Amino acid sequence: MTPTWPRFSPTAPLHSCLPTASHRRAASRHVRINDDVTTEVVAFLRDRIDRAVAAGIPLERLIIDPGHDLNKNTFHSLELTGRLEEVIAIGLPTLVAVSNKDFIGETLDRELDDRLDGSLAAAVICIMKGARIVRMHDVPTTVAAVRMTEAVLGFRKPAYVRHNMGCS
């Protein structure tokens, strides 16, 4: 469930859904590139968290999303990715939806159907910075990239180990 923040269904606290607060800039697609978008996103999300808790939604059921490309330009989405640890510091599970986004296409000069490698790179960077939920289109390839990243970070063991483990 992604409610329209700051409005919540009066029954939201009664359900087992996990509300997600996503940052979305004002409707204009013409935003300045020198804005400190990360500070803006963190302040916005903190405000929405406070509103959700005041509306009766338990803090442990909330998820946050910095909103890559949601009325942000490529420079903003790149900044958010590079400074994601500031969003992570809020302390709630963080979802990133970076799959096939315009910032990837514009950065790599790729059309929509040719952004998988950039999407995976962005997802891995976000995971390495602390994101724990990723929304991606190519699930099998993403699962492999996430599992490898988790192994590097010490969150999971290799599926098996044979290489250079001695003679058999």
Specify whether domain 12-152 bears CATH 3.40.50.410. Answer: no
Which of these is catalytic: 48, 72, 101, 115?
A: 101
pTM: 0.82
162 compared with 20, residue with greater pLDDT: 162
Is 24 annotated as catalytic? no
**Per-residue pLDDT tens digits for 120-156:** 999 999 999 999 999 999 999 999 999 999 999 999 9
**Options 7, 46, 135, 156, the catalytic residue:** 135
Query: Quick check: is 101 catalytic?
Result: yes
- What confidence tens digit (pLDDT) does each residue in 19-68 have? 665 655 555 555 554 579 999 999 999 999 999 999 999 999 999 999 99
Distances (CA, A) of 160 to 77, 143, 156: 37, 17, 11
- 13 Cβ contact list (under 8 Å, min separation 6): 55, 56, 57, 58
